[in-house]
Amino acid sequence: GAVVSQHPSRVICKSGTSVKIECRSLDFQATTMFWYRQFPKQSLMLMATSNEGSKATYEQGVEKDKFLINHASLTLSTLTVTSAHPEDSSFYICSALVKGPGSEKLFFGSGTQLSVL
């Protein structure tokens, strides 16, 4: 099946620094990618929808200046957590949408555990 590669799988950073997470579709092109966040014992929450070549659409309550999303190509979307703080520590997951004739499929990355000290 289609593979979505998310990197890094785990990152630890100091408070105030920025962290970039990459989401790549390895064997298909994805015009739309999604970014989710999951806090311990809570559900995955959609943060934003990323469309290739256009600005991302953020969900209510998600700071677009803090969580910068870039979808510059059909195979890569990046999420940059700027000026990270301990409360940003979470599990971040991306997914990529593939549209075919009369159908669509969604493939997920394996997630990135961010710990901000």
How many Å apart are CA 115 and CA 93, to the nearest integer?
14
Instruction: Spell out the alpha helix ranges (H) of 1-117.
Output: none
The correct pick among 17, 29, 42, 83 for binding other proteins (CB under 8 A) is: 42
How many Å apart are CA 102 and CA 82, to the nearest integer?
39
Residue in 63, 65, 4 with CA at minimum distance from that of residue 34: 4
Is residue 43 involved in binding other proteins (CB under 8 A)?
Answer: yes
Closest distance to other proteins from the beta carbon of 20 (Å): 19
The correct pick among 21, 56, 84, 93 for binding other proteins (CB under 8 A) is: 93
Q: Which residues are at the interface with other proteins (CB under 8 A)?
A: 4, 6, 9, 34, 36, 41-46, 49, 93, 95, 97, 104-111
